[in-house]
Each structure stands twice: as structure tokens, then as C-alpha cells.
Amino acid sequence: MVELVTKKHLQLIAGRSHPELALAVAAHLGVPLSDPGLVDFPNTEVRCTFGESIRGADVFILQTHAAPVNESLMEQAIMIDAAKRGSAKRITAVCPYYGYGRQDRKAKGREPITGRLVADILTAAGADRIVSVDLHSGQIQGFFDGPFDHLLAMPILERYILENAGDDFVMCAPDTGRTKVAERYASHLGVDMASVFKRRAKDKIASVEAVGVMGEVEGKVCVLVDDMIDTAGTICAAADILLDNGASGVWCIATHGVLSGPAIDRLKNSRMERVVVTDTLPIPSEKQFDKLEVLSIAPLIGDAIRAVFEDASVSELFGGENQI
């Protein structure tokens, strides 16, 4: 009889969409980044050749779905396929920002459900597990037929608020869809909450109008909380109506700084005092401005990767409250 006691081996591999975050996660874990050997062919196809053996390893492939989103997603799928064919024991796709997550249902006829499609792509490539941060909709977890660890930036953002906002502030939802999240922040921080009502212009993308406020905001600093800032139309409209209703100041905190199109100009010229995001997405120097503060998400992702590797509970990192 032959007996063999194996040792678990963690390998962290990252794509090219956000190298700074990958290095920060590796530093937090105290492990080196393995070389995926990514090369672009002249026709823009991508080749991946790992520089070392991954046979039997617990492989974590980190790639945030940053713009261009299609390239980031395909590059991650290629690395996952290479790991599967290289005999990795388990493959976890770490997607700090989960691309196409806003299309999580059919709002109209003849529309795709791309949140499901991304899960199918990662599954077909060979992912055994997915880790992501602050999904646009929690139901996306059900699109993947395997473990899906949903991380929250809430502990990092709450710490920032406690250290900087003083005592007289109120948590605010920029629309009714984020009311539950704002309520949770308010409960943790022991403050009141308010919500802005808005309507979208029919058949227009990224066009919103704030129309009212529910809750007491007069004389208080309002901290708007959202999962992402894309074109910043929703956030800026919400800030204006809060200030028009007597708020003494408005901050915005969000997990994902997508910051596309007119976002930078809108935020620069807005009446908000602070805009706080995490670094789930890269924010190049040309998108940075005086009001913007970027917090590191690397410790959170690193702790989650360690928990998965050690077969420990990821939910305990959030007191069991990571199912929003």
C-alpha cells in the first residue's frame, strides 16, 4: 500500500487589468505573484503560458473587469483555461469588479442577461469558485453553479466614515434600490438614514432625475452610499436635492469607481465635498481630482483568499452579513 500526505499550495496569478491591486493583495498574503506569461499576438489574440508548474495547486486568478471590459474578461477566461489544462487542483476566479453585473434580469423583451453569461463563461473556462466584491445585485451569486463568495467593502468604508465624518451625519441612499444598504450602514454606525427618490427618462441610458427626499436631512452632513459611480448622474442629482432640502454638506462613498464618460467633470463641478471609492478598479492619474479619495480593498480580498485556501468561513469576515 502506498500512502501520500499532500500539502496545499496557494498560487496567486493576476491578469493585466489592475497590476497595482494584484501586487497589494500578494503583499498582504505574503506570497509572490506567479507569472501568467501573457503575450499579445499581432491580431490582438492573447496567449497564456504559466512560468511554473501549477499541478495540484489551489490557484487564484485575480482579474478585475476593468475597461475594456471584454478584454479583461476574456483574458481571465484564458488564464483559467490554462490553469485547468495545467492540472490545477482548484481554480478560483477573483473578480473584484464583476463585469456586466447590471444586466441581471430582463427589464424588456429581447434583452440579454449578461450577469448570467459572465458566470457561464467563467464556468466553461474551468472556474470552480468565484470571489467578487459588492455585486450590483445579490442574485448574481445564483448564476454560478458553485461556491460564490460575495465580499463587502462595507467594513473599509464604515471605518473611513467613523474616522472622518464626526457625529452629526445621516446615511443616504441615492435611490430606492440602495435603501437596504444605507439602512445597514446606518444601523452599524448608529445614525439615521434618508433616501432620495428618482425617476429615469424613458428609453434613455444613464439619464436620471431626483424628485424627492424621505427622511430628515436639514442641517446634517449626508453620506450617500452606492455600489458604483459610473457616469455620476445619479449621485450628482441626489446630492443636489439633498442640499436643496437643507443638508449642510454631502459626501459620496462607493465601492467601484467606474468613472466613465462625463463622470469626472460632473463630480469635479458637483456640490459634493468628498467622493470616496475603493481601488477595485484602476483609477489613472487623469481621472483623479481633489475631492476624490481612494481606499485600498487589497486587505479584504487577501483575507478572503486566505479563508478560501484554508477552508475557513468567508462570511465570518463580515459577521455573516455579506448576503445583500
Which residues on adjacent β-strands are paired with residue 177?
Answer: none
Rounded to an integer, what distance in angstroms lies between the CA atom of residue 198 and that of residue 233?
A: 11
The CB-side HSE value for 212 (13 A sphere, CA atoms) comes to: 5
Is 180 one of the annotated active-site residues of the chain?
Answer: no
Q: Which residues contact 178 (CB under 8 A, 6 or more apart)?
A: 225, 226, 227
Which residue out of 198, 204, 287, 291 is catalytically annotated? 198
How many other C-beta atoms lie within 10 A of the C-beta of residue 301? 26
Residue closest to 156 by CA, chosen among 280, 58, 272, 63? 280
Say if residues 322 and 315 touch (Cβ distance below 8 Å): yes
Question: Using CA atoms, how far apart are residues 158 and 189, in angstroms rounded to an integer?
Answer: 8
Closest alpha carbon to 176 in 226, 118, 127, 139: 226
Find out whether 200 and 208 touch, Cβ atoms under 8 Å: yes
Active-site residue list: 198
